[in-house]
Amino acid sequence: MNISNTYLTAEKQLQKWRDLNEWIKKSAAKDAIPDQAFKEMEGKVKGLTGKSRLFYGFGDNGKGQADPFLSGHLFVNYLVGKYPNERSRFVDFYPSPPDPARFDFYRPKIKVRDGAADRPKGFYIKELLPKDFEEGIGATHQKISPADAQKLSTWGWGPEGFQFLALEEAYVKLLVDKQVPMYVLADYTLSPHGENDYFSTPFLGSCRERLEIGTTNLRDNIPKYRPSHFA
């Protein structure tokens, strides 16, 4: 099944970002995208197809690059606020402190995996792999684990995965209906109990006809959990 005709062109993605920015202004005003950033992108997106994906790096990691935790956190909140969902409690970028009074001692930790590319601040464009563009994210690599996919490129899916679903509402339905693969955000690694055992990674998929934001093992090569990277 070729699904490439469901994707927004880069120009339409920019307009959708304007719409998303209205939501950001209401939910996290200090992180809203400035008008000048949109103006600077208008000429750059003309003529680009849906294969070119427009993402935004929010915040600052203290080293002059975007903060991948804020970039992910904003759009996890967007997705769970908009779509019926099943969300793993481990996919939490800013967990509340443990409460020993409730015998609550553990909190998950998420980090960017070693070797991943720094995310630039502001808008940036990445290209989908040809097969991912035609058949869905992760279609290119059907039989390898996320850990092996990480070795193929420094640019895997991370905060871009949540932003992609925020832009592509038609893709959410395809995902929930299991018409496209569940895809792994392997540029994040996750320690479920905060003990520095970073053996998991988030994925986006379908559970009981709902959008699922879950976790899987980095070493698993279960075909339904498909990792990928950008061209």
Q: Mean per-residue pLDDT for 148-159? A: 96
The token pair that represents 31 in the structure block: 């992180």
Residue 204 predicted with pLDDT over 90:
yes
Supply the pLDDT for residue 101: 75
Q: Mean per-residue pLDDT for 193-199? A: 83
Residue 108 predicted with pLDDT over 90:
no
pTM here is: 0.94
Q: Tokens 């606020």 — which residue?
A: 81
Q: Mean per-residue pLDDT for 47-64? A: 97
Residue 196 predicted with pLDDT over 90:
no
Residue 36 predicted with pLDDT over 80:
yes
State the chain's mean pLDDT as an integer. Answer: 94
Q: Are the C-beta atoms of 75 and 83 separated by less than 8 Å?
A: no
Q: How many CA atoms lie within 13 A of 110 on its CB side?
A: 24
Question: What is the pLDDT confidence band of residue 105, given thresholds at 50, 70 and 90?
Answer: low
Q: What Rg value do the Cα atoms of the chain yield, rounded?
A: 17
Supply the pLDDT for residue 195: 80
Give percent of the chain above pLDDT 70.
Answer: 99
